[in-house]
């Protein structure tokens, strides 16, 4: 009984020691073996590995690409235009030992990358105008930024850098600061209002010219029409006078009769007209004759 218990205890202890002395590195990881907090070796190949139990421990690091989305930064282009640049960095850890010695954690690494990226953005974008940042040269600018960030990350301290390699740097957005955008919007609005007022003034001037020309042409047309009407009326009156004269010369009595009929028509055209005169009035001579 005692022997069985002893064997079981030894077996359990052996299992504990075995598990405490082994570790597995997956394909997406790399490991750093530490002894009393001091790195002793790196393991970058996947598989089962051994370490001293209870003396050594293992820290795992990502082997895959790591994305770092930096905070937006205000930079000044070569033409003194201010920009808010939003960029991100993609990197992977190439040397866990160096990474551990220089930055320790990914949080610290992100802080260092943020400073390096800001410096590179100011240097590269500060050497080109705003138009280049938003043109087809943007890819070339990003490549220059990536090169500078990678150089500083891999060898900025002269001892091998931070143990990482920067694979890519991308500018997601490059906008004008809010204050500049509002200022530009106000200037554009003022310019459009000025142009609109100019167009309105030009339109009013053209309309006034058209109205003046139309009034002038109307006055000329009316004057010509009145002139023509007066000439036509004069010719008509002349012909009427001639006709009356000819008619009077041929039959004076009939002409007097016609003129009397016209006078009667004008005198009694109004229904409310009342005429009082002597029966032997010369004005009624043809009525009297007609009555007989």
Query: What structural domains does the chain harbor?
Result: 2-62 (no CATH), 66-176 (3.30.479.30), 252-292 (no CATH)
Q: How many residues does the chain have?
A: 292
Bridge partners of 174, per DSSP, are 85
88: left (phi over 0), alpha (psi -120 to 50) or beta: beta
DSSP-assigned states of every residue in 244-262: HHHHHHH-HHHHHHHHHHH
Q: How far apart are CA 25 and CA 61, in angstroms?
A: 10
Tens digit of each residue's pLDDT (9 = 90 or more) over 208-246? 889 888 988 888 998 888 888 888 888 888 887 777 777
Structure tokens at 92: 């992977």
pTM of the model: 0.54
Q: What is the mean pLDDT of residues 81-96?
A: 88
Helix (H) or strand (E) segment spanning residue 226: helix 178-250
What is the predicted pLDDT for the residue at 3?
67
What is the predicted pLDDT for the residue at 171?
85
What is the predicted pLDDT for the residue at 237?
81
Q: Strands 82-93, 164-175: parallel, antiparallel or unpaired by DSSP?
A: antiparallel
**Is residue 290's pLDDT more than 60?**
no
**Is residue 259's pLDDT more than 80?**
no
What is the predicted pLDDT for the residue at 280?
61
Give SS3 for 289. Answer: helix
What is the predicted pLDDT for the residue at 285?
62
12-16, 39-43, 198-202: segment of lowest average pLDDT? 12-16
What is the predicted pLDDT for the residue at 105?
86
Q: How far apart are CA 197 and CA 3, in angstroms?
A: 108
Q: How far apart are CA 205 and CA 270, in angstroms?
A: 55
Tell me the longest C-alpha to C-alpha distance in the chain: 180
Tens digit of each residue's pLDDT (9 = 90 or more) over 146-177? 898 888 887 655 456 888 999 998 888 877 76
Mean pLDDT across the chain:
80
Give SS3 for 79. Answer: coil
Q: Are 75 and 69 in contact (CB under 8 A)?
A: no
Tens digit of each residue's pLDDT (9 = 90 or more) over 8-33? 676 766 777 777 888 898 998 999 89
CA atoms within 13 A on the CB side of 166: 30
Chain centroid, CA 228 distance in Å: 63
| Residue 70: band (very low, low, confident or very high) from pLDDT cuts 50, 70, 90 | confident
| Residue 291: band (very low, low, confident or very high) from pLDDT cuts 50, 70, 90 | very low
Radius of gyration of the chain (CA): 56
Q: Are 57 and 40 in contact (CB under 8 A)?
A: no
């Amino acid at each position: 009984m005692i022997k069985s218990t002893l064997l079981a205890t030894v077996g359990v202890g052996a299992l504990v020691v075995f598990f405490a002395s082994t570790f597995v590195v997956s394909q997406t990881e790399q490991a750093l073996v530490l002894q009393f907090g001091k790195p002793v070796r790196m393991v970058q190949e996947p598989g089962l590995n051994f370490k001293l139990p209870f003396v050594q421990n293992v820290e795992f690091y990502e082997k895959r690409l790591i994305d770092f989305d930096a905070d937006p930064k205000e930079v000044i282009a070569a033409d003194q235009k201010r920009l808010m640049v939003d960029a991100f960095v993609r990197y992977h850890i190439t040397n866990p030992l160096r990474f551990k010695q220089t930055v320790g954690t990914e949080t610290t690494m992100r802080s260092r990358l943020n400073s390096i990226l800001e410096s590179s953005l100011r240097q590269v974008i500060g050497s080109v105008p705003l138009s280049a940042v938003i043109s087809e040269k943007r890819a070339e600018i990003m490549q220059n930024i990536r090169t500078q960030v990678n150089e500083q990350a891999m060898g900025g301290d002269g001892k091998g850098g931070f143990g990482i390699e920067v694979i890519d740097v991308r500018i997601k957005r490059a906008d004008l600061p809010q204050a500049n955008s509002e200022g530009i919007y106000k200037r554009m609005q003022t310019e459009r209002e000025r142009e609109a007022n100019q167009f309105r003034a030009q339109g009013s001037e053209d309309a006034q010219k058209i109205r003046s020309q139309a009034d002038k042409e109307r006055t000329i047309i009316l004057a010509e029409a009145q002139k023509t009407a007066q000439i036509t009326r004069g010719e008509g009156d002349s012909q009427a006078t001639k006709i009356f004269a000819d008619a009077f010369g041929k039959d004076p009595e009939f002409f007097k009769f016609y003129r009397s009929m016209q006078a009667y028509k004008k005198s009694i055209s109004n229904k409310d007209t009342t005429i009082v005169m002597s029966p032997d009035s010369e004005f009624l001579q043809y009525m009297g004759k007609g009555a007989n």
